Amino acid sequence: MARRQWSIAGQLFALQALVVTLLVLAGAGGAVWLARSDSHQAAEDEVLAVAQTVARSPDVRAALTAADPAATLQPYAEATRVATGTDFVVVMAPDRTRYSHPNPDLIGQPFIGDIGPALAGEPFTTTNVGTLGESVRAVVPVYGDDQRIVGLVSVGITTQAINRKLLGQIPVLLGAAVPALALAATGAWLLSRRLRRQTHGLGPTQMTRMYEYYDAVLHSVREGLVVLTRDGRVALVNDEGRRLLGLAEDAAVTDRPVAGIALPPAVAELLDSGRDAHDEPVLAGDRVLVANQRTTRFEGTVLGTVLTLRDQTELRNLASELDSVRALTEALQAQTHESANRLHTVLTLVELGRTDEAVQLATRDLALAQQLTDRVVGAVTEPALAALLLGKSARAGERGVDLLIEPDCRLDDSPLPPTDLLTVVGNLVDNALEAVTGTPPPRRVRVFVGTTDDEIVVRVGDSGPGLDPDRVADAFRRGWSTKSAGRGLGLALVGQVVHRHGGRTEVTRADDGGTLFTVRLPIPREAR
């Protein structure tokens, strides 16, 4: 059977209860010790005062010089003892002979105890054991008319009597200690109860393992994680989240508002909104991230917001290349279908004996297709980019759009990554096709890709309605689109590539009346 472990709250309560009990007991013990010390000191002061009063009495001085001192001093001493509440009042001669005592049988016998300082003229107090047991006593000299010491007075209170007085104070001490202990125990219980709620009754071993496991998981997962508190402050950013968001490892981000951290604008906007997001693409520098954001709750209480980020930059580049290949395949399939139709037409014309017309039809279509292929392949030696342009041309034909490759278009060896060129050319052409779709014919899209001494130039113009000059600045922002919702990522990806390579973009009016996008990407010095 597994041994039940104490929770942190239970251990804290037990420890606090033990500490409080020890403190209260120590305090009570200290109070008793102080009370005992005070009682002892009070007893010394009391017996000294009584002894000095008796020693100064004229009756005592006169009786000490009388023929029978005990006859006068015994009644006087007993009356004084009873009146003052002391245990004995002994008047004696300088040679220790007692003239008074609570036990009359001891009168005339020598006094037991130290009297040396009093014989030297110094009153003193001491604790000694006498006939009545241990007592606190004072011894004071009695002076005659000639200032000679004619006797001594000793007044004492037994230790037992002092302890009885002290025991009488114990209920008062307990009356103060017990409520203090109860109050401290109640406070410890309330604190442990609050801690139990906050720690959900977990023990230290469980919490240690949970922290170790959670910390290892949070720092090893391949998803970026950003956690906000309910008041919008950053509670956690794991290692992958720092990498995806471009945050330095030593950058202070915890317990700071989102506005106080250098986050990509799209990510900051999503965190500030607090809305739920599902597989929403966002741009972070030169990365395309997929964001999921949810509000977290525990037992109906809102704890904060959790944002997860996945890097899809490479996946989107591969998807762009795949789209190009798919477009080329679809174009080839369409051309195959059209070629089959034309082949049947040619064969039918031959069967009908109209050979000349069949030859003209076949050679005209072949010349047009070959002319487009030769122009693209001859101008662009990059296979992926050539395939992209051929595919876009076929797609444009399906939409009733003329995709024109500029005569001076030329790109032999691209010094830039092919995926970046595919992103720029493909998205600009798609944007142009969207712009002219649904407009009156003729619908045209013109494409130019070429190089100068120090840069690659990409120009894509269309015959569409044109872009409002006031909206040019928003064109390359993620989410902006003139079409339906859910678009607006293509031009943002183009802007991302331009920013990464330190290039620039220009948006002007095209010759056909539409919009002309010009992208200039610097060629690295080592590739010039």
Q: What is the mean pLDDT of residues 165-183?
A: 68
Residue where the block lists tokens 């977290």 = 296
Rounded Cα distance, 340 and 164, in Å: 126
Q: Which of 10-24, 237-251, 254-268, 478-492 has the lowest mean pLDDT?
A: 478-492
Nearest to 290 by CA among 270, 310, 314, 262: 310
pLDDT of residue 482: 47
Beta partners for residue 306, in sequence order: 227, 294
The DSSP line for 118-161 is HHTT--EEEEEEETTEEEEEEEEEEE-TTS-EEEEEEEEEEHHH
Q: Which helix (H) or strand (E) holds 172?
A: helix 159-199
How far apart are the C-alpha atoms of 175 and 192, rounded to whole Å? 26
Identify the residue with better confidence: 29 or 76: 76
Q: Which range, of 268-282, 329-343, 381-395, averages the lowest pLDDT?
A: 329-343
The pTM of this model reads 0.44
Most confident of 118-132, 171-185, 328-342, 354-368: 118-132
Task: Kindly state the average pLDDT of the residues 459-483.
Answer: 67
Per mean pLDDT, which of 120-124, 281-285, 405-409 is the most reliable? 120-124
pLDDT band for position 464 (cuts 50, 70, 90): confident
Which carries the bigger pLDDT value, residue 205 or residue 112? 112
| Residue 486, pLDDT above cutoff 50 | no
Residue 480 has pLDDT above 50, yes or no: no
Q: Is 50 exceeded by the pLDDT of residue 1?
A: no
Query: 134-143, 352-361, 490-499: lowest mean pLDDT where?
Result: 352-361
Number of helices (H) and strands (E), helices first, in the chain?
Answer: 13, 14
Give the confidence band of 383 by pLDDT, cuts at 50, 70, 90: confident
Query: Phi/psi of residue 59, each to 5°?
Result: -65, -35
**Neighbouring C-alpha atoms within 13 Å toward the C-beta of 323:** 16
Q: Which pLDDT score is estimated for 141?
A: 92
Q: Give pLDDT, residue 96.
A: 87
453 pLDDT more than 80: no
**Among 123-137, 226-240, 332-346, 382-396, the least confident range:** 332-346
Sheet with 301-311: strands ordered across: 234-237, 224-229, 301-311, 287-298, 277-284
Given this model, what pLDDT does residue 173 score?
Answer: 65
User: What is the SS3 string spanning 373-403?
Assistant: HHHHHHHECCHHHHHHHHHHHHHHHHCCCEE
CB atoms within 10 A of CB 469: 10
Mean pLDDT computed over every residue of the chain: 76
Tell me: pLDDT of 156 over 60: yes
| pLDDT tens-digit readout, 504-524 | 888 888 877 888 899 888 887
Q: How far apart, in whole angstroms, are the C-alpha atoms of residue 326 and residue 328?
A: 5
Decide if pLDDT at 126 tops 70: yes
Q: What is the mean pLDDT of residues 164-193?
A: 69
What is the pLDDT at residue 470? 64
Average pLDDT over residues 356-375: 62
Mean pLDDT, range 378-403, rounded to an integer: 75
